[in-house]
Structure 1
Amino acid sequence: MSTLIVQLPAQPRLAAQQAEPATLGEPADVAFAFSADGSHVTRQGRAAVAELPQAQQVVAVLAPADVGWHHAMLPKAPASRMRQALAGVLEEALLEDESELHLALAPGASAGSLGWIAALNKPWLAGQLARLEASGLTVDRVVPAWVPEGPPAGHVYEDDKGLQLAWRDEQGPLCLPLDSPATRALLARQPADVSIAWSASPGGAAEAARLAGAPVASQSDTEFLQQAARSGWNLRQFDLAAQRRGQRAFNEALANALHDPSWRWVRGGLVLLLVLQLVGANVWAWQQRSALAQRKQAMNTLLQTTFPQVRGVIDAPLQMQKEIDLLRTASGKPGDGDLETLMYAAQAAWPASRGPANGLQFENGRLTLESPGWSPPETETFRNQLLAMGLDAETSANGPIVTRAKPGSRPPASAGGVTGATGTAGARPGGATGAAGGSPGLPPGAAPNAQRPAGVGESGPMQMRQPVGMLPQPGGKPAGPVMRPMGGPEPKPGDDEDEE
C-alpha cells in the first residue's frame, strides 16, 4: 500500500496574538517521504502541498516540541463523553483555555488506569489538516515525532531556532533548547549508570556525540519520519477524527488484497477458483440439458408406443392425458371432475353438523352446494376431508364449491380416514369406497343412512338447479345411472321394475 509521510511545519511561538494560529508559519513547501509499497522510500525531499504525490495512506508527523504530555489516571467515561472527562482531569495542569486544546489518548489506553495524554493547539492542528486536505489528500493519521514510551533517550535536531534536544526518561518526554541552563541541569542530574540511547539529525550529530561522550550515528530526516510513522499513535481523535474511517479502512484492505505482494497467492487462488466455478457451471449445465433431452425423448417414445395413432408429438404429457380421457369417456367411467365424483365426495365429507343442501350447480368441474352459513371449523373439516380424496373446496357466500385439487396441494397430517374417489375409505364412519376407475358406489350390504353424514337428506332432498338430461332408452329407462338427490334414500330393489 502506497504511503505518504508529511512533516508538518513547527507551530509558531511568536506573534500568536496578531495572527490566526492556523495560518502562522506556513512555508511554501514541506518535507515528505513517499513509499510505493509502504516499506521502501521511493521519493523524498520537499515540495509544495499541491504537488505532493497521491497515496493510499497519508501520515502527518508533528514536530517534537508541538505536543505536550500529561501522565494521569484516565477517567471512567463513555467514548462520547471522554473528551470532556479528560478536560476535567487536566483542568489544573492546562495553561491554555480548554476549548483551544486538542487532547488525545495513547494507543490501547483503558479507562481507570494510568496513561499518557497528548495536548496540542487545536486551531493550529485543524488548520494544518485543512491545508493538506484542500489539495486532495486525506490525512489518515497524525503522529508525534517524539513519544513517551521507550527507554531513556535523547535526540538532537535542528530547526529554525537552532539545535534542540528531545528528551525522554521515566518522567516523560520534553523538548529544550540544546544550549540552555535547563538542558545542562537535566543532563547533570542523570545517574552515571543509566544508559541513554542517543540519536541526532545530520546537523546535530557533533553535539550529540559531545553529550554522549561517544560517536553518534546521524539519522536523516526521511529515516526520522519513517520511524515516527511506524508508531501506533494517532492523534486524530474526538472532534478531529478522520471522517469515513470505515470506507477508508475498506479501501486500504482492498488495495492490499489487489497490490500487496504478500497477497499474491490469495489472488492466484481466487482466480483459479473463479475459473473452476465457470468450467464446473458449464459442465453441470451441459449434463442437465442432456438429461432433460433424454427424459423428453423417453416421454415421447412412451406416448407413441402406448397410443400409436398419435403422429406428431407437441406436448407429450398433455397429449397422453387427452388420450386417457378419451378412453375413460368411451368406457363410460366418470372422471375426477365429473358430477358423479364430486357429488359422491361431497356426500362423504359433508359435516355432521350441517343440514341438507338447498340446491347445487355444476359447471366445468365445479360443484356449488347451496348451503349458506358455514362456520370456519365446518369449512376446515369439509376441506380437509376433500383434500384427502384429491379434491378441494372453495368458500363462497352461497356455500362451498367443490373442485379438483391444484397441483402441490397436500392434506393436513391430521386429516385421515378418507381417500380419493378412486381409492378406499378410512375409518371414518360412513366412509365410502369408490368403484373401479373412480366411479362412485356404495359398499355391498351397507345401509343407506350409513353412507351419508348425519343430517344430510334427513329433512328433505337436495334440489338441482340445472338438471342433467339423459337420453331415454326404449321402455322409458334412462341411458345413464339413476341420479338421486344428495342425502336422499337409497333406491330399493324393484323400483325400476315398478316404474316400468
Structure 2
Amino acid sequence: MSILVIQIPERQRLSARGGPDAQTPVSGLGTEYAYVSSPDGLVMSAQGECSAALLPKASTVVAMLADTDVSWHRITLPKAPAARLRAALVGVLEESLLDDADEVHLAVAPDATAGQPTWVAAVDRRWLRAELAVLEKADVFVDRIVPSSWPDDPPSGHFAETRTTAAGPDQGVMLHWAHADGVASIRLQGGLPRALIPRPAPAGTRWSATPGAAASAEQWLGMPVNVMARPERALQAARSLWNLRQFDLAQRTRGARALRDGLRRLASPQWRPVRLGLVALVVAQIVGLNLWAWHQRSTIEARKVALQGVVRAAFPRVSDLDIQRDAAAVMQREVQTLRAVAGKAGDADLEPMLMAAAAAWPTDRPPAEMLRYETGRLTLGAAGWTEPQIAQFRGMLQTSGWQVDANGTQLVMSRARPGTRS
C-alpha cells in the first residue's frame, strides 16, 4: 500500500504590517506542495515539492495541516445522533469559537465516546474546502486529513524555522508544544516559552527539531534533541488515528469516484493476490466452458453419426445425402411408407384414435353425434357433457399419450407432444 502525504501550505493571514503574508500563495495559483511518499507509512521512498498536477500517485493520500491552522477545544461530547452531532458541537463551542460557526469546520477525536471528555479540532472551512478543490481538480483525492500535532500525553515539543515573510527572511524558531491540555505554537524568542513550558519538562517528553532549528533548540533546552526533517514529521502525522474529514467534508465515494477508488485499491500491491485469483478464475472459466462446449459438440456429433448408421443399415436404398441432411425425418418417412404398404394403421390414423376414444368414452353418455377426422386430429361432438365427464375422458386418454382439448361443444383429440400436459 503506497502512501502519499501532502503538506497543505499554511493559511494566508494578515501580517503585523497590515498586508497578507507573502510566503503563502493564493490557493491554486502556482501553489507547490511539499510531499513525501512511502510504501508502508514507515519508510520514506521519495520527497520533494511540486504542483498538484505533478504529485506522484499513491493508493492512499493523506493531507497534513500546519500546526497554526488547527485550533483545539476540550469539551464533553454531547449525546446526539450522527446526523445532528455537528449542530450539537456548535451549541457547545459557540462561546469558544473565534469565527462564525458556519465558517468553521469541526472534527471529533478518534474513538470519542458520548458523555465523555474529548478533543475537537477546528479549522477554517472555506479555506480547507478551497485547498481540497485544488487537489481534486488535479485528480488528487485526499483520503484523510491529519493535523501536524495534537493534544497528547506524554507531551512533545517540535522546533522549526519560522516562515519567510514580506519583510524578508525571518531567522526565528517556532516551538510547537503539544501536551495534555492542548497545542501551542509560540516563537522561541522572548520569555513566553519559558513561562508556558514546565521546567523541568514532564517525564517522557519527546523533543524534536528540523535540521535548521536543531542548534537553537539544543541551546534553548540545554540538551540534545532528535533531528526530524519535515518529511519525517509528515510520515509521523500520517500514522496518527486522526482524520479531520468529518461531517460535510466526509469522503463520499459515489459514481465515477467510487469506480476510480475501487480500481485504485485493486491496483495496489496488497490486492495483488486478489487480482491473480480473479485472473485465474476467469481463465479457468473460459477454459472450462470451451472444454464443456467441445465435449457437448463431440457427444452430439457421435449421436448424429450413430443415428445415420442405423438409418443406413435399415434403409440401404436411401441416399447418403438425404440421411446426412435429416436422418430422423428419413427414418420416420420410410417407416410410414412401410406401414402403409403392409396395410397397418399408424398412431395418428383414424382407427387407433377411434379405438382409444371408445375405450375412454363415459358409460353414461350416448354415442357421438358428430365426428370429423383430419390428419392426426379427431373432433367429437360433446354437447351436454359436464366438466367431470370431460376431465375423466381427458385423464384416461392422457395416460395413453393422447391430448384432449375442449372447444365449446366439441372435443379435439390428437397425439400429445413430448412434455405437453393437458
Q: Which string of whole-angstrom CA distances, capped at 9 and with x for unpartnered residues, describes residues 246-299 of structure 1?
A: 865654554454452x55555555555555555554444444333333222221
Match of 1:186 in 2: 196
Q: Which string of whole-angstrom CA distances, capped at 9 and with x for unpartnered residues, describes residues 159-202 of structure 1?
A: 3274322223333434333345553233226665x220111222
Distance change (3 Å), C-alpha of 1:248 and 1:231: farther
Match of 2:5 in 1: 5
Counterpart of 1:403, as a letter, is S
Distance change (3 Å), C-alpha of 1:49 and 1:346: same
Counterpart of 1:81, as a letter, is R
Counterpart of 2:375, as a letter, is N
Question: What is the TM-score normalised by the length of structure 2?
Answer: 0.79
Match of 1:297 in 2: 305
Give percent identity, aligned residues only.
44
Q: 1:157 touches 1:203 (CA, 8 Å); kept in 2? A: yes
Indicate the SS of the match to 1:59: strand
Q: 1:34 touches 1:53 (CA, 8 Å); kept in 2? A: no
Structure 2 Cα separation of the partners of residues 213 and 354 of structure 1: 123
Indicate the SS of the match to 1:5: strand
Residues 1:366 and 2:377 aligned together: yes
Residues 1:220 and 2:229 aligned together: yes
Match of 2:34 in 1: 32
Match of 2:86 in 1: 83
Q: 1:198 touches 1:212 (CA, 8 Å); kept in 2? A: no
Structure 1 Cα separation of the partners of residues 179 and 337 of structure 2: 105
Structure 2 Cα separation of the partners of residues 373 and 218 of structure 1: 109
Distance change (3 Å), C-alpha of 1:405 and 1:45: same
Distance change (3 Å), C-alpha of 1:297 and 1:158: same
Measure how far apart 1:343 and its partner are: 3.8
Structure 1 Cα separation of the partners of residues 147 and 364 of structure 2: 89
Counterpart of 2:12, as a letter, is P
1:173-322 → structure 2 map (5 Å cutoff): 173-179=183-189, 181-188=191-198, 194-210=203-219, 212-244=221-253, 248=257, 251-252=260-261, 254-258=263-267, 260=269, 264=272, 267-268=275-276, 271=279, 274-312=282-320, 313-314=323-324, 315-322=326-333
Measure how far apart 1:92 and its partner are: 3.6
Indicate the SS of the match to 1:199: strand
Structure 2 Cα separation of the partners of residues 374 and 65 of structure 1: 98
Match of 2:410 in 1: 399
Structure 1 Cα separation of the partners of residues 197 and 277 of structure 2: 59
Q: 2:144 touches 2:245 (CA, 8 Å); kept in 1? A: yes
Measure how far apart 1:227 and its partner are: 1.9
Structure 2 Cα separation of the partners of residues 189 and 214 of structure 1: 13
Distance change (3 Å), C-alpha of 1:127 and 1:285: closer
Structure 2 Cα separation of the partners of residues 90 and 291 of structure 1: 79
Match of 2:167 in 1: none
The ranges of structure 1 where at least 4 consecutive aligned residues each deviate by more than 6 angstroms after the TM superposition are 18-21, 351-356, 372-378
Distance change (3 Å), C-alpha of 1:99 and 1:43: same
Structure 1 Cα separation of the partners of residues 105 and 160 of structure 2: 25
Greater relative CO, 1 or 2 (CA 8 Å, sep 6+): 2
Aligned residue pairs, count: 406
Distance change (3 Å), C-alpha of 1:142 and 1:331: same
Measure how far apart 1:122 and its partner are: 0.7
Measure how far apart 1:318 and its partner are: 2.2
1:459-470 → structure 2 map (5 Å cutoff): none
Q: 2:33 touches 2:52 (CA, 8 Å); kept in 1? A: no
Question: What is the TM-score normalised by the length of structure 1?
Answer: 0.68
Select which of 314, 325, 335 maps to 2:336: 325
Query: Could you say what the CA RMSD is over the residues aligned between the two structures, in angstroms?
Result: 3.8
Measure how far apart 1:355 and its partner are: 7.6
Q: 2:32 touches 2:49 (CA, 8 Å); kept in 1? A: yes
Counterpart of 1:63, as a letter, is A
Match of 1:423 in 2: none
| Structure 2 residues without counterparts, runs of 5 or longer | 164-169
Q: 1:6 touches 1:30 (CA, 8 Å); kept in 2? A: no
Per mean C-alpha deviation after superposition, the further-off stretch among 54-63 and 268-277 is 268-277
Structure 1 Cα separation of the partners of residues 39 and 397 of structure 2: 74
Measure how far apart 1:108 and its partner are: 4.0
Counterpart of 1:33, as a letter, is Y
Counterpart of 1:394, as a letter, is D
Q: Which string of whole-angstrom CA distances, capped at 9 and with x for unpartnered residues, describes residues 220-253 of structure 1?
A: 1111222222333322222223342686565455
Indicate the SS of the match to 1:188: coil
Q: 2:152 touches 2:180 (CA, 8 Å); kept in 1? A: no
Indicate the SS of the match to 2:398: helix
Considering only CA atoms, is the larger Rg found in Structure 1 or Structure 2? 1
Indicate the SS of the match to 2:224: coil
Q: Which string of whole-angstrom CA distances, capped at 9 and with x for unpartnered residues, describes residues 72-99 of structure 1?
A: 3434433333322322333343332211
Counterpart of 2:37, as a letter, is S
